[in-house]
Amino acid sequence: MKRISPLLLLMLLTLTLSGCGRIKQPKTLNIGILQIVQHGSLDAARDGFETQFNHEVKRVHPKWRVHYNYQNAQGDQANLNAMAQQLTITKPQLVLAIGTPAAQVMARKTRTIPVLTTAVTNLVQAGLVQSNQRPQTNVSGTSDQGPVTAQIKLLTQLTKHSQQPLGIIYNSSEANSLNQVNTARTYAKAHQLQLKVVSVSSANDIQSALVGLTPKVAGLYVPTDNLMASSMKLIGKQTQRAHIPVVTGSIEMAADGGTATYGLNYRDLGKQTAKMAAHVVLKHQKPAEMPVQTAQHLQLYVNQSRTQALGINPKTVHKP
């Protein structure tokens, strides 16, 4: 048996080690997520986004990994600013901003990192894009603009035997909420519907506002906004005592304390946003050139326990 010379052995070992150095490690994508507050709708949007984005990446690059840097400000503006700054420093491939305040803060922190947003009603009015068709900024995403007129029609269906006006409670400090209220007012005026509208600016105001409002209305409309969504259990308890139906701006809000709604599913909206994110991260498209999208599917949701408690047969509730 021939002996291998020390020189040849060294050369073979060097080639082996250099070959090992050329083995490609799986690529890791870093995705930032900034969320204004924790509640059902926003959590569902985030869950849908992560599920769909993982699928989009694995379909094209099976060995790639996705790391999510998730930051939740829990409704605190100071936290939101600090978290947005921290995400900017880490230089992720993309940031998902969930909710209008998160999107606005993120857009102020960076003009170079791609930002997609979801659960924002009006991106133009929020100052995030130049137009829905041509954003012309580093921001685009999906709007959660709900079918307000259809939701008011649904509330009139649930209260058709009452002569009392319809009630609305909304957050006066959020522009998205005011837009929905104005749409409801326009519809009510055109169809000779009476409204009683009250506004609040903090969670501390909701209980007293409901105590004053619920005895005077046949039913309550609660538009989509972060404050109302995070307070739906309280709203549900108070309206149950008053024995009145509640139509909400989102399905998750109806599930948390409402009676019914006709609207979008936030998990599906998150998935829709993830498909846009795949085009940004994997195909290098720019948000500036990606039109803002709206929900592709709307559905009727009926909270059966709530309708039955009101003496309403859930099967009689139909799409407006």
Examine residue 247 and state whether it is found in any structural domain, yes or no. yes
Examine residue 159 and state whether it is found in any structural domain, yes or no. yes
Asked if residue 280 and residue 170 are part of one domain, the reply reads: no
Please determine, for residue 146, whether its predicted confidence score (pLDDT) is greater than 90.
Answer: no
Asked if residue 290 and residue 240 are part of one domain, the reply reads: no
Asked if residue 84 and residue 135 are part of one domain, the reply reads: yes
Mean of the pLDDT values across residues 35-42? Answer: 89
Q: pLDDT tens digit string along 193-220?
A: 999 999 999 989 999 999 999 999 999 9
Q: pLDDT tens digit string along 79-88?
A: 999 999 999 9
Q: pLDDT tens digit string along 235-279?
A: 999 999 999 999 999 898 999 999 999 998 899 999 999 999 999
Angle at 62 between CA 58 and CA 68, to 5 degrees: 50
> What is the number of domains present in the chain?
2
Examine residue 12 and state whether it is found in any structural domain, yes or no. no
Determine the Cα–Cα distance for residues 154 and 300; give it in Å rounded to an integer: 10
Asked if residue 176 and residue 108 are part of one domain, the reply reads: no
Angle at 84 between CA 205 and CA 136, to 5 degrees: 100
User: Any idea what the CATH number is for the domain that residue 137 is in?
Assistant: 3.40.50.2300
Asked if residue 307 and residue 175 are part of one domain, the reply reads: yes
Examine residue 245 and state whether it is found in any structural domain, yes or no. yes
Please determine, for residue 225, whether its predicted confidence score (pLDDT) is greater than 90.
Answer: no
pLDDT of residue 1: 47
- Show the domain range for 43: 28-144+265-296
- In this structure, what token pair is assigned to residue 197? 């509208």
Asked if residue 309 and residue 184 are part of one domain, the reply reads: yes
Please determine, for residue 3, whether its predicted confidence score (pLDDT) is greater than 60.
Answer: no
Examine residue 74 and state whether it is found in any structural domain, yes or no. yes
Examine residue 248 and state whether it is found in any structural domain, yes or no. yes
pLDDT of residue 179: 87
Asked if residue 159 and residue 184 are part of one domain, the reply reads: yes
pLDDT of residue 21: 47
Asked if residue 163 and residue 32 are part of one domain, the reply reads: no
pTM for this model (two decimals) = 0.78
- Contact partners, residue 15, CB within 8 Å, separation at least 6: none
Asked if residue 275 and residue 153 are part of one domain, the reply reads: no
